[in-house]
Amino acid sequence: MSLTRYGYQNAINGFFEFPTENARRVLPRGIEPVEVHHGSSVLAVTVFHFTESEVGEYGEVVFAVLSPPLVEGGRIPKGAFFPWQVATTTKASREHAIERWHLPHWMDDVEVDFEPSNEGHSLTALVKAEGSLAMEMTITDHSWEKVSHLYQSFQQDDDGRYMCKILFEGEKSEHEEETGSIRLHDHPFNKDIEISEVYEQPFREMWMRDGHQLFDPLRQL
């Protein structure tokens, strides 16, 4: 079985509460969101700086909804998600992800810049699309440890529904101190999100650095 590897310098992620009604609008029938409490689901926003891949270095932004994992034999995944919009900084990375992983994409290049704080305890991702700022997300650190975590990603397109297993390995800081933030601008990039209904502070934030993702081959469900 051949695995696909993506090495990253930084990957920052925030879990933000947003209405379950909004989550269901971006999910296909048959996939349910995970609710943190009645009527409130999880918008997972992740920004990557990939330094190693089959298509070179690039940045990536992922909007996803947390969903229940598919529990089978073997290792139990830490979580699962359904990405409904992925954006990248290069055409090659976008075409690669669409062809291999059937991921839905924003079809133009975006700009992704990472700005560390002076003391190095937070990292801000600035995302520009169509020449203007679409999103800013800041994630803070806590304690660091080396981890190996398994996740599942569900995808769907006109040809069917898919799942792949993704192993994240590297240094990780994860906490629920609510010290990070997100600002989603009134921009076509965010058209599927009720911006005013998204909590600005993440209830969980994760920062991974100097690690890699290992993707199992895509599996049709």
What is the rounded average pLDDT of the residues 12-28? Answer: 98
CA gap 221, 202 in Å, rounded: 32
Side chain identity, residue 12: I
Here the CATH number for the domain that contains residue 170 is: 2.40.400.10
pLDDT of residue 72: 87
CA gap 16, 151 in Å, rounded: 18
The whole-chain average pLDDT of the chain stands at 97
Q: How far is CA 59 from CA 12, 73, 92, 126, in A?
A: 12, 34, 12, 11
Q: How far is CA 17 from CA 136, 140, 164, 195, 203, in A?
A: 17, 18, 25, 11, 8
Cβ proximity of 21 and 41 under 8 Å: no
Secondary structure (3-state) at 91: helix
CA gap 162, 30 in Å, rounded: 13
Predicted model pTM: 0.97
Total structural domains in the chain? 1
Show Cβ contacts of residue 37 under 8 Å, excluding neighbours closer than 6 positions: none
Task: Read off the pLDDT of residues 40-79 as tens digits, 9 standing for 90 and up.
Answer: 999 999 999 999 999 999 999 999 999 999 988 889 999 9
CA gap 86, 90 in Å, rounded: 12
Kindly indicate the confidence band of residue 1, based on its pLDDT and cuts at 50, 70 and 90. Answer: low
Domain range for 121: 4-220
Q: In residues, how long is the chain? A: 221
Side chain identity, residue 83: P
What is the rounded average pLDDT of the residues 103-115? Answer: 98
